[in-house]
Amino acid sequence: MGESRRRAETMRAMRAMRASATAPATPPPPASLAESCDLCGNDLPDDHRHMLHLGERYILCTCETCLAMKAGDADLRPTGSRTLWLEDFDLPDEVWAAFQIPVGLAFFLRSSGVGRMAAMYPSPAGATECELQFADWERLVTLNPVLEDLEADIEALIVNRMTEPHEHVVAPIDEAYKLVGMIKANWEGISGGDALAKAVPAFFGQLREKAPS
């Protein structure tokens, strides 16, 4: 399968994340090698921009024209642009355990719509939310003051505890949903399979390449 097709499949999975794990399954859209703007339908280059629908919390692929026209809409926001690796991040095991996230991979975002922090973890069904206690998050912020600058809605703290050493990065929210879409697209069997075991490190490797040197 070519790189363009893999990208297209991942983006289709990202667009479907508005559905919850309990929502009825819907047939997948027809395969397409080219990505198009979700607002006007024009073809997009590989390095196109994204917007977040605040109310429904899904990602839109957008051309530059639509991005400029819709950036002021109340329901839409351009996704973040910075990638910041946190090499000295302090996340003790007992703090992680307090989050009660069942897997070693998650992202955290500040939602302006509900006025609180949210924790999401990827699954074969898409992004699954885990209830996050305010006191637990504040404890993490106290240990890592850099999190005070996490921009609401458009940035996420992504945590990968599936590898050693653990990885922590502040990234645009579309990268977090891209990770979820990638996992959904590559999941095989009960445990995820070999393809998933290779895809997760590859995702973080690509994300590291985007960080400023």
Paired tokens of 82: 């910075």
pLDDT score recorded for residue 35: 87
Going from N- to C-terminal start, the domains of the chain cover 3-210
Residues 18 and 209: their CA atoms lie apart, in Å, by: 29
Report, as ranges of residue numbers, the positions in the chain whose pLDDT lies below 70: 1-33, 213
pLDDT score recorded for residue 127: 84
Contact (Cβ atoms closer than 8 angstroms) between residue 105 and residue 162: yes
Dihedral angle at the C-alpha atoms of 96, 102, 104, 106, nearest 10 degrees? -80
pTM of the predicted model, to two decimals? 0.77
pLDDT score recorded for residue 9: 55
pLDDT score recorded for residue 209: 86
